[in-house]
Structure 1
Amino acid sequence: MEEEMGEGVGDGVGDVVRVGMAELVGRVRAGEPYGGYAELRARADVVGVGDGVVAVLGFGEAEKVLRGGRFGHAEPEVIAEAGDPADPDVPVDGEGRVVRAFVFLNPPAHTRLRRVVGKAFTARTVEGLRPRVEELVGEFVERVVEAREVDLMGELAVPLPVTVIAELLGVPVADRERFGAWSGAMARAGDPAFLLPPGVAEAAAAARREFVAYFRELAAERRKKPREDLLSELVAGEGERLSEGELLVTLTLLLVAGHETTTNLIGNGMLALLRNPEQYATLGRDASLVDGAVEEILRYDSPIQLAPRTVLADTELGGVELQAGTSVLVLVGAANRDPREYDDPDRFDIRRPVSRHLAFGRGIHFCLGAPLARMEGRIVLRELAKRLPALRLAGEPERADTVTLRGLRTLPVAVG
């Protein structure tokens, strides 16, 4: 891997503390990477990790990158992804180029597409989903009480967000089981290319093609017979119509982002609470702490750990001169534990007065689904702490093998 990326920092980066690619990979892949992040941050807020590549660990520097300005995404606005652009199950634009999701675009294309999709995540829409989320959480409580021991990930953290986003889109109940497999395959390919194990990119491309084929057919049905769902609204356009390629890529994004982030928020949060049972008990006694608990979880063990950007114009960051074209990897998990921003950052504390964190990003790319993820997280934490006060870990959880999306594969719990 070091031979592929290079040990030093080449053209495009000024004087910088250098870190071998193997060292960086070892730290970000660690099950508990935060100690390694702290060691790197003690050396510099911005470190070079390859030819024309830097990693950002300091909160202030990370926030500057995420806010945009001289940092954004590489051009062109559409790129070829895995697969053959001639494949009918790969979304393309009018010129036959494979379409990218709007989160990987710069203005004005990003602005237009985000505005269209943003209509689905208004406060009114999110609030309208609350009763359904509460119902699903209640069903989980009944299952765990009856079974005494369950996997919280498989029984709640994974199916809850999938069900919510599927119902929002208008996906038939019988088809929703496939969403988890597609989403999981695509999420595993969300890491930078140098972190991907063999075969992961190919599996993600296959899942994406299946997903696109499915939604192309469902969108065609909605054009003929619209319903009261998000898919019908996106198909109709209501002033700004998406091309078919834009529609299909956006639906893929909504599935993966709307599912994986919330799943990891719930899993990481419940693990932190159950490892700190006094705080779990405190939350059960005082539901008013739930908002702060969710924000502390997002800071303490962020569901999204890495955010890639590209330098769009020559600039300075953390005392390092960066030229246009330099790749920047923001280590969100490291920034959210910067001791200059937070007192005793490695301590989990649901009473912490967290004024801000970077778990959902900053600027124009701030997570569109953040209100929905927060709502689901608050209901899960509040209801479990209140209704299952004796809940405890029933074994060692298993971490997922992804890095960008940090979460759990299993979380065994039992009613005490």
Structure 2
Amino acid sequence: MSDSFAVYMRHGAPRYCRELECWIVTQYSDTRAALLDSRLTFAPLPIGAAPESAEWRDFAGSIYQWNALPTLAVPIVKEHLRPAFSLCRIEREGPWIHEIARHLAQSLVSQGGGDFKCDFSDSFAAEAVCHVMGLPQAAGRYFRYWMPGSTETHESSEQAVRLFRKEYAHAAHIRRLDLAGVSSAVHVDDRGCGDDSADDGVAAMAFTAFFMISSVLTTGMSLLLRRSRQLARIRRNPSLISAMVEEVLRFDGPEFFAPRIAASDVEISGKTIQGGESILLAQGLANRDPSAFVRPEVFSMDRTTSKALLFTGSPYSELCATMTRSSVEIAFEEFIGIMPNLHLAGEILSSNCRPVGNRVVQLPFRSH
């Protein structure tokens, strides 16, 4: 008999999940300690057989999505990609990111509205990532096929990554691709084939950055459109945008889980996790733990402490933190500033791949 999905999605001691063949950690104190434990290493989650029930299938689908990314090439990431996402780099590209957001927002104003996720979030994230990373804009077309959904999307996700790498390798073959002012160090042979590790690092970084930016933008706007008073506060005082983005990340951040594998035996709250076993650190639930946050179920821009567990899903997630925060703040500033009469224009559609919060897939709005 399969355990109920809800059994695992509550705060308590770690539990072993037979459906996913891994441990699930949900409490804030346990999750924070585990994230700092060097015995727990980054790794794609080796999920077992596809769960039978619909709730487990949708849930597992959101994890399969991340497993479509290439194997983590941590040394390549640290050496060649970190400078591309430095604060200095992002600040230098700020005017261009402003222009990307302004152009998209003005286009939607002329149309009277649209689908915020498809017409703004996804488009903005794709253009911003390609620009900052120095990638050909044509590569951005594949990002949209890599958004979380059911387990059936896993194949299309893998295909999207393969096509992206092909586009990137082709560009590098035509000219030595300058990755955000930093040599990509991709060796291209006579056939136009790049070094696999470097190509994988670029692909995983680009897809992760796109997902982070698009998700935070869409989730943030859906929260604001359902909270007119908080949206009005931001219009009166745009300096609140930074605090709002931090609360979006805590309340319903893009990464619900941080997958890890135990290199050796680890004890968490009296439970022994053996070396080689997989773990899902449920940071999305930990960020709503009442032992760590006052009224965690409430979306509030007035929190004075920022101790949410963020950007821990992979080395790529950590590198995306600065770009995600900066570009999302710019996008909100431009979008809300251009649309003073912004309001919801229909039902918000969400997928059921998360136990807490929403993965918004459609967000209709009107600009006047």
Q: Under TM normalisation by the shorter chain, which class is it? A: 0.7 to 0.9
SS of the residue 2:93 aligns to: helix
Equivalent runs, 1:4-403 vs 2, <5 Å: 7=2, 20=3, 23-24=4-5, 37=9, 40-41=10-11, 44-50=12-18, 53-73=22-42, 100-102=71-73, 110-111=74-75, 113-173=77-137, 175-176=138-139, 179-180=140-141, 182-188=142-148, 197-198=151-152, 200-223=153-176, 229-230=179-180, 233-235=183-185, 244-361=195-312, 367-400=318-351, 403=354
Q: Contact (CA 8 Å) 2:212, 2:324: kept in 1 or not?
A: yes
Q: What is residue 57 of structure 2 aligned with on the other side?
A: none
Task: Give the whole-Å Cα distance in 2 for the aligned partners of 1:171 and 1:391.
Answer: 33
How far has the Cα of 1:304 moved from its partner?
1.1
Q: What is residue 49 of structure 2 aligned with on the other side?
A: none
Go from structure 1 to structure 2 and tell me whether the alpha carbon gap of 1:319 and 1:197 turns closer, same or farther (over 3 Å shift).
same
Over aligned residue pairs, what C-alpha RMSD do you find? 2.9
Go from structure 1 to structure 2 and tell me whether the alpha carbon gap of 1:111 and 1:172 turns closer, same or farther (over 3 Å shift).
closer
Task: Pick the structure with greater CA Rg.
Answer: 1
- Structure 1 gaps, min length 5: 8-19, 29-35, 76-97, 103-109, 190-195, 238-242
Go from structure 1 to structure 2 and tell me whether the alpha carbon gap of 1:396 and 1:262 turns closer, same or farther (over 3 Å shift).
same
Q: For 1:95-130, what per-residue CA distance to the aligned partner results, in whole angstroms no more than 9, with x for missing partners?
A: xxx96223xxxxxxx245323210111121101221
Task: Give the whole-Å Cα distance in 2 for the aligned partners of 1:156 and 1:299.
Answer: 22
How far has the Cα of 1:134 moved from its partner?
1.2
How far has the Cα of 1:205 moved from its partner?
2.8
Count, aligned residues: 336
Q: Among residues 356, 361, 364, which one is paired with 1:409 in the alignment?
A: 361
Q: What is residue 88 of structure 1 aligned with on the other side?
A: none
Task: Give the whole-Å Cα distance in 2 for the aligned partners of 1:402 and 1:362.
Answer: 17
Q: Contact (CA 8 Å) 1:99, 1:245: kept in 2 or not?
A: no
Go from structure 1 to structure 2 and tell me whether the alpha carbon gap of 1:101 and 1:205 turns closer, same or farther (over 3 Å shift).
same
Identical-pair percentage: 22
How far has the Cα of 1:188 moved from its partner?
3.6
Q: For 1:131-155, what per-residue CA distance to the aligned partner results, in whole angstroms no more than 9, with x for missing partners?
A: 1121122223322332222111122
Go from structure 1 to structure 2 and tell me whether the alpha carbon gap of 1:409 and 1:99 turns closer, same or farther (over 3 Å shift).
closer
Q: For 1:246-278, what per-residue CA distance to the aligned partner results, in whole angstroms no more than 9, with x for missing partners?
A: 111012112211101100000000111111110
Task: Give the whole-Å Cα distance in 1 for the aligned partners of 2:125 and 2:313.
Answer: 23
Q: What is residue 191 of structure 2 aligned with on the other side?
A: none
Task: Give the whole-Å Cα distance in 2 for the aligned partners of 1:261 and 1:294.
Answer: 12
Task: Give the whole-Å Cα distance in 1 for the aligned partners of 2:174 and 2:181.
Answer: 10
Q: Contact (CA 8 Å) 1:67, 1:362: kept in 2 or not?
A: no
Task: Give the whole-Å Cα distance in 2 for the aligned partners of 1:284 and 1:165.
Answer: 27
Task: Give the whole-Å Cα distance in 2 for the aligned partners of 1:74 and 1:138.
Answer: 38
